[in-house]
Amino acid sequence: MMIRNDAADSQHAQSDAPHVANGDEVSFPRWFACFTKGLPTSQQGEVEPGAYESLLRAVESGKNAAFEALARGSGRRLANPQAAHAYCLEGGDPHRFGCVPAPAFASPEIAAEMKEMYWLSLARDIPFREFPASAITTRAAEELMTSERALFRGPTPADRDGPYISQFLVRPIPVNSTALEQRYRTPVLGIEFMTTFGEWLQIQSGVPPWRECTWDGIHRYIRNGRDLAEWVHYDFLYQAFLNAALILMNHRPESVLSETRSVFSEQNPYKHSKVQDGFVTFGLAQVVDWLGRVTTAALKAAWAQKWLVHRRLRPEAFGGRIHQTKTKTIEYPIHGDVLNSIAVEETFRRHGSYLLPQAYPEGCPLHPSYPGGHAAVAGACSIVLKALFDESALMPDCVHASADGLSLEPCPPGFVPTIGAEVNKLASNIAMGRSWAGIHYRSDSTAGLRLGEEVAISILQDLVRTCTEDFGGFAFTRQDGSKVRINPSGEVS
- Listing DSSP states for 331-373 in one string gives -----HHHHT-HHHHHHHHHHSS-S--BSSTT-S-SS--SS-H
Average pLDDT, the chain: 94
Share of the chain above pLDDT 90, in %: 85
493 occurs within a structural domain:
no
Q: Could you give the CA distance from residue 366 to residue 204 in angstroms, rounded to a whole number? A: 9
Where does the pLDDT of residue 251 fall: very low under 50, low under 70, confident under 90, or very high at 90 and above? low
Does residue 78 surpass a pLDDT of 90? yes
Does residue 257 surpass a pLDDT of 90? no
Q: Could you give the CA distance from residue 122 to residue 329 in angstroms, rounded to a whole number? A: 25
What are the pLDDT digits (tens) for 275-316? 998 889 999 899 999 999 999 999 999 999 999 999 999 999
Query: Do residues 306 and 84 lie in contact, with contact meaning Cβ atoms separated by under 8 Å?
Result: yes
Q: What is the reported pLDDT for 249? A: 86
Q: Could you give the CA distance from residue 358 to residue 438 in angstroms, rounded to a whole number? A: 5
Backbone phi, psi, residue 424, to 5°: -60, -45
What are the pLDDT digits (tens) for 320-376? 999 999 999 999 999 999 999 999 999 999 999 999 999 999 999 999 999 999 999
Q: What is the reported pLDDT for 45? A: 95
Does residue 466 surpass a pLDDT of 70? yes
Residue 371 preceded by cis peptide, ω within 30: yes
Q: What is the reported pLDDT for 259? A: 41
What are the pLDDT digits (tens) for 395-453? 999 999 999 999 999 999 999 999 999 999 999 999 999 999 999 999 999 999 999 99
Does residue 255 surpass a pLDDT of 50? no
Kindly state the average pLDDT of the residues 209-213.
Answer: 89
Q: Could you give the CA distance from residue 459 to residue 286 in angstroms, rounded to a whole number? A: 14
Query: Do residues 125 and 189 lie in contact, with contact meaning Cβ atoms separated by under 8 Å?
Result: yes
Does residue 254 surpass a pLDDT of 60? no
277: number of Cβ within 10 Å: 11
- Decide which of 271 and 253 is more confident: 271
Residue of 113, 98, 16 whose CA lies nearest to 313: 113
Which CATH number is 43's domain given? 1.10.606.10
Per-residue DSSP letter, 310:
I
250 occurs within a structural domain:
yes
Backbone phi, psi, residue 259, to 5°: -70, -15
Q: Could you give the CA distance from residue 435 to residue 447 in angstroms, rounded to a whole number? A: 14
Kindly state the average pLDDT of the residues 242-246.
Answer: 96
Backbone phi, psi, residue 187, to 5°: -70, 155
85 occurs within a structural domain:
yes
Per-residue DSSP letter, 270:
T
215 occurs within a structural domain:
yes
492 occurs within a structural domain:
no
Residue of 247, 302, 370, 352 whose CA lies nearest to 80: 302
Q: Could you give the CA distance from residue 1 to residue 45 in angstroms, rounded to a whole number? A: 55
- The total of structural domains in the chain comes to 1
Backbone phi, psi, residue 492, to 5°: -105, 135
Does residue 12 surpass a pLDDT of 90? no
313 occurs within a structural domain:
yes
Query: What's CA 480's distance to the chain center, in Å?
Result: 16
Q: What is the reported pLDDT for 349? A: 98
Does residue 6 surpass a pLDDT of 80? no
| Residue-number span of the structural domain to which 445 is assigned | 2-486
Kindly state the average pLDDT of the residues 251-263.
Answer: 48
387 occurs within a structural domain:
yes
229 occurs within a structural domain:
yes
Q: Could you give the CA distance from residue 21 to residue 311 in angstroms, rounded to a whole number? A: 8
Does residue 223 surpass a pLDDT of 70? yes
